[in-house]
């Protein structure tokens, strides 16, 4: 207990929030949580359509990694006391619709969606890595390690999509561009709202 009688229990991950740029960390954790939540919903939509197909196990493998990412960001939200975006209900529906809709185009459509989303997210993670390094790499060491690992996982998913004929999807370049514009809008909104 502090002098004011308020309990100051350490968070489960024992993150010290003293001396950090709270606004930057809040924005990063909020948007990354939203992104991982959306990715989970995209893979859920893809599995609903293609789960029993030959590509089902591949989608499930990528989804399992996204579930681990979401779990970690749930923990970081508590540790850093960050509120989630108010847009989660929208991302719930939009993510599932994007996943199912792309999967309705077949395996190639689902993989095109994966390539577009994972390329956007890995670029976004790279921007965050640069921001945290500019702030203080030692102070944000754990968060940097997490983001770097997740960025590498997203790049792996991107490459899996390419290996499974994403570029042969109907209107691939239009689909990719549209999905990436949606990702940019989602990132912009989730950082702020």
Residues 162 and 145: their CA atoms lie apart, in Å, by 26
pLDDT of 112 higher than 60: yes
Q: Hey, is 152 helix, strand or coil?
A: helix
pTM above 0.75, yes or no: yes
Query: pLDDT tens digit string along 37-72?
Result: 999 999 999 999 999 999 999 999 999 999 999 999
Residues of the chain with pLDDT > 90, as a percent, come to 90
Residues 61 and 149: their CA atoms lie apart, in Å, by 16
pLDDT at 19: 84
Q: Which pLDDT band holds residue 18 (cuts at 50, 70, 90)?
A: confident
Of 184, 78, 89, give the one whose Cα is nearest residue 127: 184
In this prediction, residues 135-139 reach a mean pLDDT of: 94
Backbone angles phi, psi at 165, to 5 degrees: 70, 30
Query: pLDDT tens digit string along 151-187?
Result: 999 999 999 999 999 999 999 999 999 999 999 999 9
Contacts of residue 93, Cβ cutoff 8 Å, sequence gap at least 6: 41
Query: pLDDT tens digit string along 147-158?
Result: 999 999 999 999
Query: From 1.20.1260, 3.40.390, 1.10.10, 3.10.450, which CATH number describes the 22-191 domain?
Result: 1.20.1260
pLDDT of 106 higher than 90: yes
């Amino acid at each position: 207990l502090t002098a004011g009688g308020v309990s100051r229990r350490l968070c489960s991950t024992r993150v010290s929030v003293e001396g950090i740029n709270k606004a930057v960390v809040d924005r990063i954790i909020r948007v990354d949580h939203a992104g991982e939540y959306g990715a989970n919903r995209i893979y859920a939509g893809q599995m609903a359509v293609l789960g029993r197909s030959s590509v089902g196990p591949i989608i499930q493998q990528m989804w399992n990694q996204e579930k681990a990412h979401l779990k970690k960001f749930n923990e970081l939200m508590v540790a850093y006391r960050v509120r989630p975006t108010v847009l989660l209900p929208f991302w719930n529906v939009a993510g599932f619709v994007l996943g199912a809709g792309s999967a309705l185009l077949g395996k190639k459509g689902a993989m095109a969606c994966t390539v577009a989303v994972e390329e956007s997210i890995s670029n976004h993670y790279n921007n965050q890595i640069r921001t945290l390094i500019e702030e203080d790499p030692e102070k944000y060491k754990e968060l940097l390690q997490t983001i770097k690992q997740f960025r590498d996982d997203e790049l792996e998913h991107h490459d899996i999509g390419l290996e499974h004929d994403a570029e042969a999807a109907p209107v691939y370049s239009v689909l990719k561009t549209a999905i990436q514009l949606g990702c940019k809008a989602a990132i912009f909104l989730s950082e702020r709202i």
